[in-house]
Chains A and B, each alone.
Chain A
Amino acid sequence: MKKYLPLILLILTVSLFATDVDKKQIIPDLKVKLMDGQKITIHELLKDGPLLIDFWATWCKPCKKVMKYLDQYHNEYSDKGFKVLMINQDSPRSMGKVKTFIRSKKFDFLIGLDPNQKIAKKLNGLIMPTLILVAQDGSIQWRHQGYMPGEEKEIEHKIRLILGLESESSENDKL
């Protein structure tokens, strides 16, 4: 039991801070290389409005399933400044197919490249898909891991909530 003590204390410490509702977690201003070669930072992407970050790979089944909905939301709420940034984690093994996959689907959302999970590790997006919804002020509003069919409704609700198109009270009715 003594061996576990440092770990338990560490988890408790982190959990205590994690439940500190008054403290806003601000997303770090990480550099992202986009698929078209452009380099941009996360805070630059937040200039116009909120941002939804999703970590994905071409071999990840649930990632591909949720993509069509995320592209739909990216287009539907773009007039409110909302953007979706899909951060790809394909290794060089399948990196050659990322562009053809995206272009064949004609997706409009932004594609970031993170082949050795530098960004994913900094944002703890190691499970795919991991969604991170960031408000325009940079504060992380919501995190979500995995995707099951039907969860797209909750994702859209959270986006609408952050855009002020829905209120918290309507959450139960919506879901």
Chain B
Amino acid sequence: MTLHALTQQTMQPQAEPEDLQGQTLSALIDGELSDDMAQRSIKQLGQSAGERARIAEYLAIGDALRGLNAQPSDFTRRVMAALENEPVVLAPVPKASNRRPALWLAAATMAAITWGLWQSGPRDDVNVPLAALQQPASQSVEAQPYLAAHQDFAQAVISAPEMHFSKASLEVRQ
């Protein structure tokens, strides 16, 4: 328990006040919000043209950070498609050498999902898997092989469950 308390204390990702929106989104994606809260944030995110434009902007920023040249609309489409396919790719964020853009990317990615939720109308399941980003193979962590290897030892008959990445930034202190 001491260990647990310690890890809780030292390993919490650094919260930054101006990322409250991102935190809510993160909680939403993690399914940590109550139904009420989730409904409210989804509503809030998709309510106005201004919000929609902001989401589109986040997506564009995310694209730029990932070095993709696709139009935001294309990216959105791909996120939507990926949501349907629930693929098994973890996409790492760029190295934390400049942390702000990484956080922005996280926010953008989360917004992308909320966008998907909002666009496809109300769903029962708020905890939608965060879709894979179509990245060059060298820049992605494929979860599937690790899962398959792990399942040599763990209980597993059913095919690997869909993975999504939820918290893009994990503070590591040594």
Chain B associates with chain A: no
Binding site for A on B (CB under 8 A): none
Binding site for B on A (CB under 8 A): none
